[in-house]
Structure 1
Amino acid sequence: MKIIVPMAGRGSRLRPHSLTVPKPLIPVAGEPIVHRLVKDIAKVLNQPIEEIAFVLGDPAFFGDDVVESLENLAKSLGAKPTIYRQDQPLGTGHAIMCAKDSLSGPAVIAYADTLIRADFNLDEEADSVIWVKQVDNPEAYGVVKLNANNEIVELVEKSKFFVSDLAVIGIYYFKDVSVLKDELQHVLDNNIVNGGEYQINDGIKGMMAKGKVFKTGKVDEWMDCGNKTVTVETNARMLEFLFEDNEKLIADSVEITNSKIIQPCFIGENVLLKDATIGPHVSIGNNTTVEASTVKNSLIQSHSSIKNANLDEAMIGNHVKFNGNFTKVSLGDYTNLD
């Protein structure tokens, strides 16, 4: 089994946090989004992972530190790491084809802007599985249309008219991903574009037209990391899951002085808490100080200093100095409000 992870986008909806760190590398509940996603997929697949291929963007942004991080992630799962580059943002189908040398055999393709809790039981009769989640507002998503045999017969993007309430979450399994590669090559060769880009859906539609069987896989939880608000919500939900699983969330090196922690929280290495109340649903990165403050439902990354704050639904980057009375702040790396 292979895992293909297209992650070349700049994450503009999560700015300012994605201005200096690629969105998939932003920590949620103490671990980068893409690390948590890949580990969760590998865990639920319950079979050896041969290769993990990452499709990155501009080397000036996705630099050597990002490559090293991803290579170490793959090796930690016993898989061969492969790095590809997408030089231009030409769509989901184009991103996958940037990894065409790895597109053979069984594979999962997963876009690195979401987190899941799921049971990945693969339907042996299906040529492909598309994971979906039932949603209350299907008009905001791409959805699947099923036939009487619960096979996917159509992919519909953000229809104003009800088609189904099963939203596509961006994770796919292909029994032989080379079939998708052939269809996407046809898309590229014939300049088939939607929204000015080459889309994975057009490759999938080509497979369907040739009789390939697509089934749905359902996730228990689908947690978006697209913007600040939903990332804060995802952090809270992930902390709940990790706490229920008895994961170790508070480092032994945390220094606590006249402070209280209300679980669940993640608190990294060498964090100083002084005269503070932390939690619930707070993640704090390594080497950060929080003093004379109350923080809940928030993410604070590493090497930051927070004083005299009352934070709720806040997201604060790395190397930030914040001394103030704002609540729902969103501060990128190296911000100084002191």
Structure 2
Amino acid sequence: MACFLFSCKKDTPDVPEKKNEKWRTEAKTDSVGNQYYVVNTLDNTLEIRVDNKDGKTIFTEVCPTIDSTEIPEDMRNLIFYLVAPNRYVNSNNATLSLKIFLDGFELQKKYVQLLANIDLDSKKFYTKKYKVEEPLDWAYVGRNVSLVQWYGNSLLVREGTDKDLNRGGGFMGLGQRGTQLVCYERDFSIRYTKDIDASDAYYPSGDQPIIPINNYEYMLFLNDGYVGRMQIVTSVEDKWAGKQVVIWRDNLKETNNIPADYSVKITDYNIQNNVVSASYNIYDEKGQLKEKRSRKWAISNGMPLGS
């Protein structure tokens, strides 16, 4: 197993002019228009850059743990994902996930994975590198939906051996949950680690509309009108301790006595002063807007508090 950590802090950064490049990846864009991309420079360095919506470079940093021999000549041997800042969780913090195939895209047996945490406000930058050369080397599930911005400025990552994550010929760990759920601080120090060994292990996904409320629980706001306080349950030990996935729930369609052929869509949600709130629209069977409503709940037990 090979694993490397590096941190770089810049309190008052000077952003250099863009260098000439051998190649750059297609940009990934967040909700405010910032664009993130990876660059192979003529100096044989791998850089991460961020441009704002006006095209001005607001962040650039060399990936210090990626050496020149690990930078692919062919851009097709690198894949990267963006875990964009979440206005409810870590509003200035993005995470990039890179996978570089050292033996080519066709083989995918030897590769480097890199996690990079970027604070767009302070310009602090931290990376964590995994290098896989053997099936038992440590890796992580690298898709953006498998990496979750988490409570208190942390990040949830599912890890395991390459043999475990890519069992059955999977790609980027697709379909394999891993053997550990790790909660990392932004500098990649470990907040906690949980085993994943329950047959029906439950953990959040990065594409879910959520607001974490502590290390293990979060509010879930599904678009079809489901609001619930959920809990991470990943191990037999959790089950022995009596932990339940759903602490409380409210299906807005059911509790509002909305006709079966009508639909509900959540349009906004938030948590303030231990009160959960959601705004939602009600549509008829033809998809026409019938009514706009809102609801509040006590975060502790889900008791409705009125509109």
TM range (shorter): under 0.3
Please state which structure has a larger fraction of its residues in helix.
1
Q: Which has the higher contact order (CA 8 A, sep 6+)?
A: 1
